Amino acid sequence: AQSVAQPEDQVNVAEGNPLTVKCTYSVSGNPYLFWYVQYPNRGLQFLLKYITGDNLVKGSYGFEAEFNKSQTSFHLKKPSALVSDSALYFCAVRDNTGTASKLTFGTGTRLQVTL
């Protein structure tokens, strides 16, 4: 069965500094990986995905993620953090045994960006 680990419950960064939110995964076969963001009392918003191709994936709001097959990682990055980026971030891996797009989510990392 597939799994996702987000080793940090919270990441703190100053506005303007680069940020990284870590994610490692375990899955049989080719990985299909996703990042979502959640603001308080809201649903999840899709940020980006890795399906195949370039290891550096660009997404919404200036976020990008680096896929590393040898380290089974898919870390979320942003060159310059904004206070408005403060939210809960989820990494997810796709169950690739069927077409129903079942996702397994990590436990989430809370990003706090301060002035």
Partner 1 sequence: DGGITQSPKYLFRKEGQNVTLSCEQNLNHDAMYWYRQDPGQGLRLIYYSQIVNDFQKGDIAEGYSVSREKKESFPLTVTSAQKNPTAFYLCASSILGLSYEQYFGPGTRLTVT
Point out which residues bind partner 1 (CB under 8 A).
9, 32, 34, 36, 41-46, 49, 51, 90, 94, 96, 99-103, 105-108
Residue 63 gets which letter from DSSP? -
Closest contact distance (angstroms) between CB of 68 and partner 1 is 20
Residue 28: its H or E element: none
**Which of residues 50 and 81 has its CB atom nearest to partner 1 in the complex?**
50
Query: How far is the first Cα of the chain from the last one, in angstroms, to the nearest whole number?
Result: 41
**Which of residues 28 and 80 has its CB atom nearest to partner 1 in the complex?**
28
Place of tokens 């995964």: 25
**Which of residues 22 and 49 has its CB atom nearest to partner 1 in the complex?**
49
